[in-house]
Structure 1
Amino acid sequence: MEPQEFERWSEKAALWGARYRASLRDRPVRAQTQPGEIYRAMPVRPPETGEEMQAIFDDFEAIIQPGMTHWQHPRFFAYFPANAAPVSVVAEHLVTAMAAQCMLWQTSPAATELETRMMEWLRDALGLPESFSGVIQDSASSATLAAVLVMRERALNWQGNRQGLAGQGRLRIYCSDQVHTSIDRAIWVSGIGEENLVRIPAESPIGSMPAEALDAAIRADLAAGHVPAGVIACIGATGTGASDDLSAVLAVAKRHDLYSHVDAAWAGAAMICPEFRDLWQGIEDADSIVFNPHKWLGAQFDCSAHLLRDPDLLVRTLAIQPEYLKTHGQDGIINYSEWSVPLGRRFRALKLWFLLRFHGLEGLRRMIRNHVRWSQALADRLARTPGFEITTPPVLSLFSFRQTGADDAQTIALLNAINDDGRIYLTQTRAAGRVVIRFQAGQFDCTEEDIDIAYRAITDTAQRMSKP
């Protein structure tokens, strides 16, 4: 592609993106295509000769775009949004154009040094002690895997990478039964094994694992000759918002000299608001913390903040330095590839820099406070509506509900009908063994009117389904 053509199509793509974002409220949130429809629209074989950009772009609009669920839609209330504030998208244009591989300081000094400063900005914004430093991982799953690998190596006196797990004692990791499935995957990939993930039942669907039960489980494993390695706590579990009592749980971890990791993937962003920090009181005692700026802060995916009390433990676990990766003649530099499982690294810090400068912390706080207030108001409104019940109360901007007396099949039928309606997008979870509908407000451009539309979409659909 010639430079002039590259410029023309870059401008066209940017203009398309701006118009797309402006039109989202007029589109159904979830893709309306049927399974296999996009696949069948593709030729069976790749082209032997190149095609014109206009033909490719036309097919993008005609085939690909209709099959996309609109994650930036203001009424995306499912999962938790992978937000991309417009200013973050602009920064990503620049990152993509430069296309740097930022694995080492010398491969792009600005990328490394900006990442260091951005992690300090985030640390301070969350009210964490200056003793914490951090790295930007691709996702919370990678940060959790890195933490579990540190747990493994530390418990095995740093011999796991060298000797493997054969012949070692059974390593044990402890967590609430409400944690995200990324913890399961970290246990699988690390070689520790699902049977060695000890799940402590939470006190309620939004509650903590009891510290006494955690302590008892660790003591029982020690008595059985097992090797306790670490504790994973959660703040704002994905399903219902369950949150551990960090002061109590981390005290148990410290008592047994276990490495601790806190998964605050979506809820951690709310900690930029001082009034919400009671949710993670005691966080300063954690060894490792993860939260995703690409969820509630508006940084385009992928951008996961991994904060560490002692990064040397992570580097000792992951660093490999063949000759071709050494930086000669420079002392005191950071190579963030030694803090991550992948060697290759994108320039993720740039979108954080643009985002934080453009909106400021107060602008981001205002958004989060609105989402919390609006979501709690919707929960109150549904609770007052005949035929509905709130099954788990709001935790920040997340709650769950169902129709009174509905069984699991009826709840799923209502959920599907709401999503087929197109005005909003919701997902399900389980609370106290029952299927319930999960609602969360966290989309960057969501307004109070969008929350009102959500109420109408839920109640209109339920009323329509009740008619014979």
Structure 2
Amino acid sequence: MNWEDFRQWGRRAADWAADYHAGLRNEPVRAQVAPGAVLSALPDAPPEGAEAMQAIFDDFEQTILPGMTHWQHPRFFAYFPANAAPVSVLAEYFVSAIAAQCMLWQTSPAATELETRVCDWMRQAIGLPDGFTGVIQDSASSATLCAVLTMRERALDWQGNKAGLSGQPRLRVYCSAEVHTSVDRAIWIAGLGEENLVRIPTHGPTRAMDADALRAAIAADRAAGHQPAGIIACTGGTSAGASDDIAAVMDVAEAEGLYTHVDAAWAGSAMICPEFRSLWAGVERADSVVMNPHKWLGAQFDCTTHFLRNPDDLVRTLAIQPEYLKTHGADGIVNYSEWSVPLGRRFRALKLWFLIRAHGLEGLREMIRNHVTWAQDLAARLEATEGFEVVTQPMLSLFTFRHLATADLDAHNQDLLNRINDDGRIYLTQTRIDGALVIRFQAGAFTATAEDVAKAYDVITELAAAGT
């Protein structure tokens, strides 16, 4: 394909994308294929010669598309959303066409300076105070890894990268069982070891980390000769929206001199609505905060904003400056490759800039408020329906429920969930609350309507009745 061919196919791609989204409500949400079906339809060996673009496109529609779960479907109520607002898709089109590698200021000055500006826009939008500085990471997993590496280096007086961990005291990091598994992975990659991720008990309806238990665990570790390094708190945990008492956690962290990271990957988007900020009261005292505009706000994956109270600690942890990466003759610049684990960086700021300008904060607030209201309404309807139990009340737009039966409740609800997802009209997932299997609902699709959420009630109750 040359650029003249691209002109034709680019138009076709835009038409296809618009048609695809217009027809999504008519498609099953989750892919309805058996394992291996797509693989068996693909040739075993790559082609030796060029193939016609029309043939490639036909195979895309006939082989690939049926095997895709439609994450942009308005009735995608599973996991958390990975929204892609049309303006974000358009911005990614431009990013792909420019194809810049934005590792340094000099490799794309506009990309660096736009990232600085839109991160500060997002800081203001979610209510973090002046003094926090942002960077765009690929995902919250990477931001959490950056935080854990910084905890490690600070605890070791910046000698971990140089001397390694051998001979050092055990470094301990504290969190509840409600945090995302990306925390576990960060602990592995940072070389701390899973045994040194200390799980603090939770309590109350928000399943918050017990601050007294946290304080006691830190004291016990110090007495045992271990080295506390940091605390990871969460707002809007993935399983059921668990939210720590951030202010109480910060009280402990400040008294103990520990680095703190707040994972608000999903729920952080809702903080553009001032009325929800009580969920993370005290966050302004954290060292590191992460939220994902690529979840609820509509910035196409991947786009994570990572805010730091003192970015110098992160830069000291990650920066390497060989001669070939130095920028001479320019003072006061930022090289964001020194703020992230990968050296290479995509131009992620462009889609966030397009998105915020095209929708405005008020347009995005309206969407989030609608999702929260619709989820609360659905939870109330299910709770009022005989045979259903809401297990965890809505945290923003996320809640869990189960259908009651005389049979094994776990097996019964897993069967109900399987039948719901095989039906295809909506998509839900499961989790466990205090060991019991429950069904998880979360409203967050960019194009969802009140009618789509009402449809979820119809499907759930219809299939529950059919299975009893």
TM-score normalized by structure 2? 0.99
Question: Which residue among 429, 432, 446 is the counterpart of 1:430?
Answer: 432
Give the whole-Å Cα distance in 2 for the aligned partners of 1:109 and 1:10.
28
Question: Which residue among 372, 391, 413 is the counterpart of 1:411?
Answer: 413
Equivalences for 1:209-228 in 2 at 5 Å? 209-228=209-228
Opposite residue 5 of structure 1, the aligned amino acid is D
Larger displacement relative to structure 2 (6-15 or 246-255): 6-15
Give the whole-Å Cα distance in 1 for the aligned partners of 2:413 and 2:23.
31
Runs of 4+ in 1 over 3 A off after TM superposition: none
Deviation at 1:2, TM superposition (A): 2.0
Q: What is the aligned partner in structure 2 of residue 140 from structure 1?
A: 140
Gap regions ≥5 residues in structure 2: none
Give the whole-Å Cα distance in 1 for the aligned partners of 2:175 and 2:370.
31
Q: What is the aligned partner in structure 1 of residue 192 from structure 2?
A: 192
Cα deviation, 1:320-367, whole Å, max 9, x if unaligned, reads 001111000001100000000000000000000100001000000000
Q: What is the aligned partner in structure 2 of residue 389 from structure 1?
A: 389
Give the whole-Å Cα distance in 2 for the aligned partners of 1:21 and 1:97.
22
Q: What is the aligned partner in structure 2 of residue 35 from structure 1?
A: 35
Give the whole-Å Cα distance in 2 for the aligned partners of 1:418 and 1:411.
10
Give the whole-Å Cα distance in 1 for the aligned partners of 2:350 and 2:182.
26
Residue 103 (str. 1) matches residue 103 (str. 2): yes
Opposite residue 50 of structure 2, the aligned amino acid is G
Equivalences for 1:277-426 in 2 at 5 Å? 277-405=277-405, 407-426=409-428
Q: What is the aligned partner in structure 1 of residue 465 from structure 2?
A: 463
Report how many aligned residue pairs link the two structures.
466
Residue 276 (str. 1) matches residue 258 (str. 2): no
Q: What is the aligned partner in structure 2 of residue 172 from structure 1?
A: 172
Larger displacement relative to structure 2 (202-211 or 146-155): 202-211
Q: What is the aligned partner in structure 2 of residue 72 from structure 1?
A: 72
Q: What is the aligned partner in structure 2 of residue 125 from structure 1?
A: 125
Gap regions ≥5 residues in structure 1: none
Deviation at 1:110, TM superposition (A): 0.6
Deviation at 1:89, TM superposition (A): 0.4
Give the whole-Å Cα distance in 1 for the aligned partners of 2:32 and 2:404.
29
Opposite residue 436 of structure 1, the aligned amino acid is V
Give the whole-Å Cα distance in 1 for the aligned partners of 2:334 and 2:18.
37
Give the whole-Å Cα distance in 2 for the aligned partners of 1:393 and 1:2.
55
Deviation at 1:219, TM superposition (A): 0.5
Give the whole-Å Cα distance in 2 for the aligned partners of 1:3 and 1:435.
53
Opposite residue 201 of structure 1, the aligned amino acid is P
Deviation at 1:263, TM superposition (A): 0.2
Give the whole-Å Cα distance in 1 for the aligned partners of 2:28 and 2:412.
23
Secondary structure at the aligned position of 1:228 is classed as strand
Cα deviation, 1:144-192, whole Å, max 9, x if unaligned, reads 0000000000000000000111111000000011111000000000000
Give the whole-Å Cα distance in 1 for the aligned partners of 2:20 and 2:205.
38
Question: Which residue among 428, 442, 445 is the counterpart of 2:444?
Answer: 442
Deviation at 1:74, TM superposition (A): 0.3
Opposite residue 71 of structure 1, the aligned amino acid is W
Cα deviation, 1:94-147, whole Å, max 9, x if unaligned, reads 001111000000000110000000000000011111100010000000000000
Q: What is the aligned partner in structure 2 of residue 88 from structure 1?
A: 88
Give the whole-Å Cα distance in 1 for the aligned partners of 2:250 and 2:21.
43
Cα deviation, 1:433-466, whole Å, max 9, x if unaligned, reads 1000000001111100000100001001111111
Give the whole-Å Cα distance in 2 for the aligned partners of 1:3 and 1:110.
25
Secondary structure at the aligned position of 1:296 is classed as coil
Native 8 Å contact 1:261 1:289 kept in 2: yes
Give the whole-Å Cα distance in 1 for the aligned partners of 2:404 and 2:2.
63
Q: What is the aligned partner in structure 2 of residue 231 from structure 1?
A: 231
Native 8 Å contact 1:205 1:432 kept in 2: no
Give the whole-Å Cα distance in 1 for the aligned partners of 2:249 and 2:198.
14
Q: What is the aligned partner in structure 1 of residue 150 from structure 2?
A: 150
TM-score normalized by structure 1? 0.99
- Aligned-residue sequence identity (percent) comes to 69
Distance change (3 Å), C-alpha of 1:368 and 1:106: same
Give the whole-Å Cα distance in 2 for the aligned partners of 1:33 and 1:204.
42
Secondary structure at the aligned position of 2:243 is classed as coil
Give the whole-Å Cα distance in 2 for the aligned partners of 1:446 and 1:206.
26
Give the whole-Å Cα distance in 2 for the aligned partners of 1:90 and 1:225.
55
Q: What is the aligned partner in structure 1 of residue 26 from structure 2?
A: 26
Secondary structure at the aligned position of 1:173 is classed as strand
Cα deviation, 1:363-412, whole Å, max 9, x if unaligned, reads 00000000000000000000000110001000000000001245111111
